[in-house]
Chains A and B, each alone.
Chain A
Amino acid sequence: MADELIYQSATQLAAQLAAGKISAVELVQACLARRQAVDGRVKAFNSCDEAGALAAAKASDARRAAGQARGPLDGIPVGFKDVIAVEGQPLTCSSKMLANFVSPYDATVTLKLKAAGAIPFGRLNMDEFAMGSSTENSAFGPTANPWDLTRVPGGSSGGSAAAVAAGEVPLTLGSDTGGSIRQPAALCGIVGLKPTYGLVSRYGLAAFASSLDQIGTMAHTVGDAALLLGAIAGHDPRDSTSFKAEVPDYRAALAAKKGPWRLGVPREFFGAGLDPEIGAAVKQAIEFYRKQGCEIKEVALPLAAEYAIAVYYLIATAEASSNLARYDGIRYGHRSKAATDVAGVYFQSRAEGFGPEVKRRIILGTHVLSSGYYDAYYLRAQKVRTLIRNEFTAVLRDCDALLSPTSPVPAFKLGEKSADPLAMYLTDIYTISVNLAGLPGISIPCGFTGGGLPIGLQLIGRPFDEAGLLAVAQAYESAHDWHTKHPSL
């Protein structure tokens, strides 16, 4: 029974729950058993409240028995990146700083998922405070790529991607500041959706870079990503940056919206540094759309290609240096035992609590904002950011979506890039500009390398047109079976 449930899509599981063929308790038990079997090797989870998940499953079954099921997510386990608050559960951000912190409150997405009957299922590993592209920056050790345990799952939402790819949980939440959902989705062969900035509330998401962070969904299929997005999207009065808009029925849109579409291909996203096998797979995907009758246009995003990484590492680090100031050992979190005065509490707690990449970015961001450098770095970066956004806006005027690789490289070896931060930063070269422009982006599986590593296709959409973007992605997924392939663990 249990094995049959592994790798079923959430949509399929929801249908079986609705039909009474399985119970939520059976489903949670299956996930727990799978986690028991494989997570010692994959290490996707930081923790999992098994008793809590089973209790929630029982409650779900009771609702369903009483005819009060709350919809398709009722009884479906959802894994949380360990950066999103769930009341009573650890919120570590994979940092020593918060190793013992338990959140006393729910994020807005958590409240929404609980209201939909979904079952919070475990805390997923990540790069510390979402800073990284390989999940190697976790204070609790790296997560492995289920397709090759000697390789990284990508990051920073590496645990969220690996847990889905390994069949430990059908749906997970991630967060994406520069590619942290899409890149690990690509490297693990699953679907990862970063919504438009402002579509999903950030309340309860421990901030890395406030103007770029966005919670998104990770799943086996486009339909599942749409299902989960529908449950968490929408205006939140607790987040001033959340957008006031109606949330459409994304799954209905998938069925309703058919092409042909006008699709743009940014020529700069196929240049030097792109793995040839990835380039070939993405070009095949483009050919698929052309054969479907879509109009394929080459477009230019010169500013995004040239400046996105530089602009990102100025803005994101500046915001991070301020956002992470609250981790000071005063009210909660790690406090150094060696500290003897206030300055010591600050310096020593932060020196001991933060890992090297987090420190590197705090120092960089502090410098970026410091008096005399602000205009040259932060202000200039914001201006270029506006130009990059304008560039995307212009291109998307004539295109319904853009197609590109998600990552220039497939999953690399654990430790391969850890000593070279710049090489690591470049793995986000195709995803970062999407965050700068605030646009929705999705990565879907589009093939494998000769070595059997997954390849991701990135689709970039218009602001708040997730419905359109998902429909374009769905058209590809429906005609291919990449998403049905799973690693042997």
Chain B
Amino acid sequence: MNYEAVIGLEVHVQLKTASKMFTRVAAGYGQPENTLTDPVVLALPGALPVLNKEALDKIITAGLILDCAIAPVCKWDRKNYFYPDSPKNYQISQYDQPICVGGTVEIELPGPSRNVMGEHKKIPLTRIHLEEDVGKLNHGASDSLVDYNRAGTPLMEIVSEPAMHSADEAFAFLTALRTAMVQGGISDCDMEKGQLRCDANISIRPVGETKLGVKVELKNLNSISFVRDGIAHEIRRQVAVLGSGGTIVQETRDYDGQTGASQSLRSKEMAHDYRYFPDPDLMPVKVDEAWLAVIRPTLPERMFDRQRRYLEQFQLPYTLTSVLVPSLALGAFFEEAAKLSGKPQAAANWITNDLQRELAAAGVELAASKVRPAHIAGLVKLVESGVISSNIAKEVFVAMFATGEQADAIVERKGLKQSTDTGELEKWVTDAIAADPKAAAGFKGGNEKALNAIKGAVMKASKGKANPQLVDQIARKLLA
């Protein structure tokens, strides 16, 4: 029997706020244990939560980027359960009235090749709500220690509809979601720092069946490729279970990315009663149109919207756009260079190839690059106007990257201007013909390719400065 997988994701994203969600203490990572604490974080007797507006701004920004409906009232609930990483033994969360409802994440599936755009889909979201993160347990041989530095960090839970059908779709969803969150300034989404965490609900059903199968929750998917691998593994496992006449049990499984295996953590029978109720310490917050009107102008252009614009407006090849759009900074850099040079494609080529290569080799961030959009524009103009050849331009680029000098200054200083002096060119061509009579004879005998040897020798003799078009004309004239 053929089965179809049905996948829904629950993604937790830590918001990048200066302070914690309900107190003034700084939020942060990698600090000495229990230093980012205060009476509120530690749940001392009498401490009370006060909402961090920045956290609400960020989740509203996320909701608007993802086309969610923003609830007019933001209400807080307590989720009650005992665990040592939870200082109050309840978590402030949103139960029945999430701040963001619905919405979609546009994804791109892998295309037939790197150079061809893949299929696009919009994966519907159920909801996004805001809650507070918990602390961290560090287990020793005979005891466990709790670090509350992470406790109280604003955490967004994004729940998708069960609307994905392959590990590739889930991978694309998470990739697109991460890009949107990073570009919106909402989170850095560093999975190693726990800023983005993902659980997957997976079921399978016979193709054509509309009822959902029994779902298994997969936890501990702590890298985006583990999400893909873990889901693929779970689908295979379920198909094998059903194929051998077994039944799927509703349970939570733990996926180990290192071994590629999963094991059961708990079954449904142990499910918790969280005794949710509205938090009496916090007032509901009204989110009116005026609030949204302040946030809307700050929203970044969505990645795929920008990609479509680059394809249409600048007529860029798909491959270049897919390098430019995942980074807002790189996209802005390109757009500035395109505007200054008037040659978007040439600018895009320099940026996606040479600039990216040099940045990577030097280990430098774009922001710290000495090459700015004006440098790219200057270089493009020199090539377009024939002042230097493309080959010389490569050399000029490396020099620009190293020194931050403008292209024309480098060309001037190094004397790299293309030679258009016909007397000089004729001498180089004559010398080349004399040096390679075999090639000269070959061309005269009708071998068009033989001319390349002559032209190559001229370029070498001129150290690349000879104008290739003029060399071609002169060689043909002299060999006619």
Contacts and interface: CB of A to CB of B under 8 A. Distances in A.
A331 B280 CA distance: 24
A237 B50 contact: yes
Interface in A254-306: none
Interface stretch (A36-44, A102-110, A409-417): A102-110
Given A322-B90, A328-B89, 16 more contacts: A83-B46, A85-B44, A91-B45, A93-B45, A202-B48, A203-B48, A204-B46, A210-B281, A239-B48, A240-B49, A322-B275, A325-B80, A325-B90, A326-B43, A331-B42, A374-B275
A104 B42 CA distance: 11
B43 A331 contact: yes
Contacts of A103: 44-46
Contact of A325 (B42, B88, B276): B88
Contacts of A332: 42, 44
A124 B277 CA distance: 32
Interface centre among A93, A206, A241, A328 (most CB of B within 10 A): A328
Contacts of A241: 280-283
Contact of B45 (A101, A239, A322, A374): A101
B450 interface: no
B118 interface: no
B87 interface: yes
B51 interface: yes
A207 to B, nearest CB: 7
Interface in B276-294: 276-277, 280-283
A342 interface: yes
A318 B277 CA distance: 9
A331 B48 CA distance: 17
A346 B82 contact: yes
A330 interface: yes
A344 to B, nearest CB: 12
Contacts of A205: 46
A374 B280 CA distance: 16
Interface centre among B45, B80, B88 (most CB of A within 10 A): B45
A280 B58 CA distance: 62
10 contacts: A91-B45, A103-B46, A105-B39, A107-B46, A210-B280, A326-B43, A326-B45, A346-B82, A374-B276, A374-B277
Interface in A297-323: 318-319, 321-322
Given A322-B275, A325-B88, A98 B51 contact: no
Contacts of A83: 45-46
A321 B281 CA distance: 14
B47 interface: yes
Contacts of A203: 46-48
B44 A104 contact: yes
A374 B78 CA distance: 13
B273 interface: yes
Contacts of B281: 207, 210, 240-241
B74 interface: no
A332 B146 CA distance: 13
B84 interface: yes
Contacts of B43: 326, 331
Contacts of A101: 45
B45 A85 contact: yes
Nearest to A204: B46
A328 B275 contact: no
Interface of B: 39, 42-51, 78, 80, 82, 84, 87-90, 144, 146, 273, 275-277, 280-283
A211 B278 CA distance: 11
A330 B146 contact: yes
B34 to A, nearest CB: 10
B477 to A, nearest CB: 86
Which A-B residue pairs are the 8 nearest by beta carbons? A325-B89, A206-B45, A210-B280, A211-B280, A369-B275, A204-B46, A326-B43, A371-B273
Contacts of A366: 275
Nearest to B38: A105
B87 A326 contact: yes
| Contact residues of B: prevailing secondary structure | loop
A109 to B, nearest CB: 10
A382 to B, nearest CB: 8
Contacts of B273: 370-371
A129 B43 CA distance: 16
A485 interface: no
Interface string A76-103: 0000000111000001010000100101
Contacts of A318: 277
Nearest to A211: B280
A378 interface: yes
A238 B80 CA distance: 23
Interface centre among B82, B88, B146, B282 (most CB of A within 10 A): B82
A211 B47 CA distance: 15
Interface in A329-353: 330-332, 342, 346
A402 B371 CA distance: 78
A482 B131 CA distance: 53
Contacts of A346: 82
Contacts of A207: 45-46, 281
Interface centre among A98, A209, A238, A241 (most CB of B within 10 A): A238
Nearest to B279: A210
A370 B82 CA distance: 15
Nearest to A84: B46
Interface in A206-244: 206-207, 209-211, 237-241
Contact of A238 (B44, B48, B282): B48
B336 to A, nearest CB: 43
Contacts of B82: 325, 328, 346
B73 to A, nearest CB: 15
Contacts of B275: 321-322, 366, 369-371, 374
A104 B48 CA distance: 15
Nearest to B272: A371
Contacts of B39: 104-105
A29 to B, nearest CB: 30
Contacts of B283: 240-241
